[in-house]
Chains A and B, each alone.
Chain A
Amino acid sequence: MSKRTTLAAIRFGYGLPLPMGAPDSPETILALLAGPDLAAQSSPTVASADLIPNLQELREIQKTGKKDIAKIPRRDALLQGFNDAAQEAVKITFARALDSADGFRERLTTFWADHFSVIAKRQLESLFPYSIVDEAIRPHLTGTFADLLTAATLHPAMLSYLDQSSSIGPNSRLGKNQGKGLNENLAREVIELHSLGVGADYTQSDVTEMAKILAGLTLNPDLVMEFQPRRAEPGPRVLLGKTYDAGGIENIRAALRDLALQPATGQHLARKLAVHFVSDTPSPDLVQAVAAAYNGSGGDLMATYTALLNHPAAWTQTTEKARQPFDFLVASLRALGVTGAQLQQMPYKEFRGQILAAMAGMGQPFKRPSGPNGFEEAAEEWITPQGLARRITWAMRVPPRLVEPLPDPVALAQSCLADRASEALLWGAARAEDITQGVGLVLASAEFNRR
Chain B
Amino acid sequence: MAGSLDRRGFLRGLGGVLGCSVAAHPMLTTVTMAGANGGRPLGDHRLVVIILRGAMDGLDVVQPQGDADYAALRPTLLNPQATDLDGFFRLHPAMGDLMPLWNKGQLGFVHATSTPYRDKRSHFVGQDMLEAGTGMDVPLNQVKDGWLNRLLQTQDGLTSETAYSIGQVAMPLLEGPAEVRNWSPETTLLLTPQARLLFDRVYESDPLFHAASQEAMELADAGNGDMEMMAADPSQMAGLKVQDVEQLVDYAAGKLRQDARIAAFSMSGWDTHRGQAGGLSKSLARLQYAILRLQTGLGAQVWGKTVLLAMTEFGRTARENGTAGTDHGTGGVMVMAGGALNGGKIYGDWPGLSEANLYERRDLMPTTDVRAWAAHTIRGLYGIDQSLLENTVFPGLQMGKDPRILL
B217-260: CB near A (< 8 Å → 1, else 0) gives 00110000100011111111110000000000000000000000
Instruction: State how many angstroms separate the Cβ of A195 from the closest Cβ of chain B.
Output: 11
Q: Pick the interface stretch among A45-53, A68-76, A246-254, A424-432.
A: A424-432
A432 to B123 Cα, complex, angstroms = 47
B198 located at the interface, meaning its Cβ lies under 8 Å from any Cβ of chain A in the complex: yes
B322 located at the interface, meaning its Cβ lies under 8 Å from any Cβ of chain A in the complex: yes
Q: Which residues of A contact B195 (CB under 8 A)?
A: 396, 432-433, 437, 440-441
A126 to B205 Cα, complex, angstroms = 43
Q: Pick the interface stretch among A36-44, A145-153, A307-315, A384-392.
A: A384-392
A178-200: CB near B (< 8 Å → 1, else 0) gives 00111111001000110001111
Of A83, A123, A183, A385, the most chain B CB neighbours within 10 A belong to A385
- The answer to whether B321 and A182 have CB atoms under 8 Å apart is yes
CB contact between B9 and one of A200, A280, A352, A383 (< 8 Å): that residue: A280
- The answer to whether B235 and A376 have CB atoms under 8 Å apart is no
- The answer to whether A389 and B225 have CB atoms under 8 Å apart is yes
- The answer to whether A386 and B168 have CB atoms under 8 Å apart is yes
Known: A120-B237, A184-B321, A204-B121. A449 touches B198 (CB 8 A): no
Q: Which residues of A contact B189 (CB under 8 A)?
A: 389, 392-393
Q: Which residues of A contact B184 (CB under 8 A)?
A: 386
B1-43: CB near A (< 8 Å → 1, else 0) gives 1111110111011010000000000000000000000000000
A180 to B121 Cα, complex, angstroms = 23
Residue of B nearest to A438 (CB): B198
Q: Pick the interface stretch among B288-296, B323-331, B339-347, B380-388.
A: B323-331
A162 to B124 Cα, complex, angstroms = 16
- The answer to whether A170 and B322 have CB atoms under 8 Å apart is yes
Q: Which residues of B contact A446 (CB under 8 A)?
A: 202-203, 205-206, 208-209
- The answer to whether A183 and B274 have CB atoms under 8 Å apart is yes
- The answer to whether B1 and A357 have CB atoms under 8 Å apart is no
Interface residues of A in 361-413 (CB under 8 A from B): 361, 363, 365-368, 370-371, 373, 376-381, 383-390, 392-393, 396
Instruction: State how many angstroms separate the Cβ of B407 from the closest Cβ of chain A.
Output: 36
Known: A198-B5, A198-B124, A386-B168. A204 touches B201 (CB 8 A): no
B50 located at the interface, meaning its Cβ lies under 8 Å from any Cβ of chain A in the complex: no
A303 located at the interface, meaning its Cβ lies under 8 Å from any Cβ of chain B in the complex: no
Q: Which residues of A contact B158 (CB under 8 A)?
A: none
CB contact between B4 and one of A90, A271, A367, A396 (< 8 Å): that residue: A271
A107 located at the interface, meaning its Cβ lies under 8 Å from any Cβ of chain B in the complex: no
- The answer to whether B170 and A381 have CB atoms under 8 Å apart is yes
Residue of A nearest to B220 (CB): A389
A166 located at the interface, meaning its Cβ lies under 8 Å from any Cβ of chain B in the complex: yes
Q: Which residues of A contact B212 (CB under 8 A)?
A: 383-385, 387-388
CB contact between A376 and one of B8, B190, B192 (< 8 Å): that residue: B8
- The answer to whether B3 and A425 have CB atoms under 8 Å apart is no
- The answer to whether B12 and A378 have CB atoms under 8 Å apart is yes
- The answer to whether A167 and B191 have CB atoms under 8 Å apart is no
Q: Which residues of B contact A444 (CB under 8 A)?
A: 199
Known: A356-B234, A377-B9, A433-B195. A386 touches B186 (CB 8 A): yes
- The answer to whether A378 and B231 have CB atoms under 8 Å apart is no
A299 located at the interface, meaning its Cβ lies under 8 Å from any Cβ of chain B in the complex: no
- The answer to whether B202 and A121 have CB atoms under 8 Å apart is no
- The answer to whether B273 and A185 have CB atoms under 8 Å apart is yes
Number of interface residues of A (CB under 8 A): 90
Q: Which residues of A contact B119 (CB under 8 A)?
A: 203-204
A184 to B9 Cα, complex, angstroms = 28
A322 to B236 Cα, complex, angstroms = 28
- The answer to whether A166 and B2 have CB atoms under 8 Å apart is no
A422 located at the interface, meaning its Cβ lies under 8 Å from any Cβ of chain B in the complex: yes
B367 located at the interface, meaning its Cβ lies under 8 Å from any Cβ of chain A in the complex: no
Interface residues of A in 278-293 (CB under 8 A from B): 280-281
A428 to B183 Cα, complex, angstroms = 28
Residue of B nearest to A349 (CB): B231
Number of interface residues of B (CB under 8 A): 75
> Secondary structure at chain B's binding surface: helix, strand, loop or mixed?
loop
- The answer to whether B322 and A357 have CB atoms under 8 Å apart is no
- The answer to whether A365 and B1 have CB atoms under 8 Å apart is no
Q: Which residues of A contact B191 (CB under 8 A)?
A: 392, 396
Of A126, A393, A422, A428, the most chain B CB neighbours within 10 A belong to A393
A449 to B213 Cα, complex, angstroms = 13
A156-168: CB near B (< 8 Å → 1, else 0) gives 0000001100111
A334 located at the interface, meaning its Cβ lies under 8 Å from any Cβ of chain B in the complex: no
A185 to B272 Cα, complex, angstroms = 10
A229 to B129 Cα, complex, angstroms = 40
Of B184, B325, B327, the most chain A CB neighbours within 10 A belong to B327
Residue of B nearest to A276 (CB): B3
Q: Which residues of A contact B220 (CB under 8 A)?
A: 389
- The answer to whether A122 and B237 have CB atoms under 8 Å apart is yes
- The answer to whether A183 and B327 have CB atoms under 8 Å apart is yes
- The answer to whether A366 and B9 have CB atoms under 8 Å apart is no
- The answer to whether A199 and B202 have CB atoms under 8 Å apart is no
A360 to B229 Cα, complex, angstroms = 9
- The answer to whether B2 and A433 have CB atoms under 8 Å apart is no
Instruction: State how many angstroms separate the Cβ of A351 from the closest Cβ of chain B.
Output: 10
A415 located at the interface, meaning its Cβ lies under 8 Å from any Cβ of chain B in the complex: no
A128-147: CB near B (< 8 Å → 1, else 0) gives 01000000000000000000
Known: A163-B273, A440-B195. A373 touches B124 (CB 8 A): yes
22 CB contacts below 8 A, A to B, read A86-B235, A163-B273, A183-B321, A183-B325, A183-B327, A198-B2, A198-B122, A203-B119, A204-B120, A322-B208, A356-B234, A361-B229, A381-B8, A385-B182, A385-B219, A386-B168, A390-B186, A392-B189, A396-B191, A424-B202, A441-B195, A444-B199
5 shortest A-B CB distances, which residue pairs? A181-B322, A380-B12, A360-B232, A378-B9, A446-B206
Listed in ascending order, the chain B residues whose CB lies under 8 Å from chain A are 1-6, 8-10, 12-13, 15, 53-54, 119-125, 168-170, 182-184, 186-192, 194-195, 198-199, 201-206, 208-209, 212-213, 215-216, 219-220, 225, 229-238, 268, 271, 273-274, 321-323, 325, 327-328, 360, 362
Can you add 18 more A-B contacts, CB < 8 Å, to A183-B274, A389-B213? A87-B235, A90-B234, A120-B235, A167-B321, A198-B2, A198-B5, A198-B124, A275-B9, A352-B232, A368-B238, A378-B12, A381-B170, A385-B216, A386-B216, A422-B205, A424-B202, A432-B198, A446-B203
